[in-house]
Amino acid sequence: MSKLGQWRVLGVAVASMCVVAGASAAGAASAPSGAPIRIGLLAPLTGSGGAYGKEEETAAKAAAAHINAHGGVLGRPLEIVVADDETTPTAGVSAARKLIDVDGVVAITGVWSSAVALAVRPVALEKSVALLPVGSADELTEGDNKGLVWRFQTNGKNWGQAFANVAYKDGAKTASILVLQTPFTLSTVKPFAERFAQQGGKVLDTLYFNPNQPSYRAEVEKIFSKKPDAVFLPSYIPEFSAIVREIYRSGYESKLYTFSHAADSGGKFVQNVGKAAAEGVNHVQATPVGNNASYQIYLKQTKQPEGTIVAFGANVFDEINVLALAIEKAKSTKAVDFSKEIANVVNTKGPDVHDPVQGLQLIREGKPFRYSGATADFRFAPNGDQVDLDYGHYRVLNGVSKLVGTTK
């Protein structure tokens, strides 16, 4: 059995033990009652991020249902209130205001688009509501966030550096960059170029493209005709799929690197372009996606098969779990109180906990633990960024993503 296979078997076994432990620990808990604790999910159900919104909604509701089935938080049920940000800042701000002013949410989770998250952040800070985005633009955690902004995804700088490390380790000495123009994807370009150069590599060209172009032939020809060893293509699944089809038709052979949410996303990428075009495409994601007990619990609760790689859903699953633990630990539903405990439930010393139900019980018993995330075994920096991340290097082989290495 391969090392990856051994990790997956171990992950399933540990996940099963954690579920049993969590369930037995909370077996005596009474059903949650009283007013629900409302958590907002601002998701891209439509617009350019529409490919990812449903997985966020499924994850959030699954996490809440699991916690509610074992006593809830502070004896109260969690309620997920879903709003569509339409992947646009204007719609996102309007939806966020409704979530806060009408629905009375204590936190806003999801927020896939960095542009939407940057627009919503001032509203959340004004209203003293916690904001837990999965957007990666560096600006999200810059400045005075009043301790209310916690990013559940790697930032653009660290992701760009991780790609440079992977490409150079993979043998690339020359690279070009073909980048979608969004705040997140653009934030990865300079860190990639600087780290690649530090390692002795040379960036040949950098070219920008817009979402929803009718054709990407000119961009593909300009970048790939110089035959770089590697092409870093920070994008999302719709544009990435269209570009890969063009690359395949043109017969270019440079190694291609992108995000796991573009080159996998639960198998959607291979479905879009076919096994032949997808063959050999490389993608990078903070690990241990697919290899640890927390992720196995996520897949079980969302009824997805083992081995599925779905980053954003797992990010949101972590968001709901950490919020539940922080609220229980603070004994308060006020964001100014429970936000102070968000870092504590993942940064403190203690045995790793993968099931939030088990963590909630340990809080009630006054025992130490740390929540180990589904998407990454992360810790938080004081500014709300995740740190201490490892990144998995995956390659699509015969239509399936295989882990071929990590950055650590």
Residues 292-341: tens digit of each pLDDT: 899 999 999 999 998 888 889 999 999 999 999 999 999 999 999 999 99
Instruction: Judge if 21 and 150 occupy the same domain.
Output: yes
- Give the residue numbers spanning the domain of 39: 3-154+291-387
Beta-strand pair 78-84/37-43 = parallel
Instruction: Judge if 265 and 401 occupy the same domain.
Output: yes
Say which residues have a Cβ less than 8 Å from residue 185's Cβ, sequence separation at least 6.
Answer: 156, 179, 234, 235, 236
Residues 275-287: tens digit of each pLDDT: 999 999 999 988 8
Instruction: Judge if 61 and 202 occupy the same domain.
Output: no
Instruction: Judge if 195 and 178 occupy the same domain.
Output: yes
CATH of residue 325: 3.40.50.2300
Instruction: Judge if 169 and 134 occupy the same domain.
Output: no
Instruction: Judge if 252 and 295 occupy the same domain.
Output: no
Instruction: Judge if 94 and 182 occupy the same domain.
Output: no
- pTM, two decimals, is 0.86
Say which residues have a Cβ less than 8 Å from residue 27's Cβ, sequence separation at least 6.
Answer: none
Instruction: Judge if 42 and 131 occupy the same domain.
Output: yes
Instruction: Judge if 321 and 223 occupy the same domain.
Output: no
For residue 133, give the amino acid letter.
P
Residues 38-95: tens digit of each pLDDT: 999 999 999 988 989 999 999 999 999 999 999 999 999 999 999 999 999 999 999 9
Residues 125-181: tens digit of each pLDDT: 999 999 999 998 889 999 999 999 999 999 999 999 999 999 999 999 999 999 999
The structural domain count of the chain equals 2
Instruction: Judge if 33 and 148 occupy the same domain.
Output: yes
Task: Give, in degrees to the nearest 5, the angle at Cα 204 between 202 and 206.
Answer: 120
d(CA 316, CA 318): 5
Instruction: Judge if 37 and 111 occupy the same domain.
Output: yes
Q: What is the DSSP letter of 287?
A: E
Instruction: Judge if 353 and 396 occupy the same domain.
Output: no
d(CA 85, CA 101): 16
Proportion of the chain above pLDDT 70, given as a percent: 93
- Joined together, the tokens standing for residue 364 give 């009630």
d(CA 316, CA 153): 10
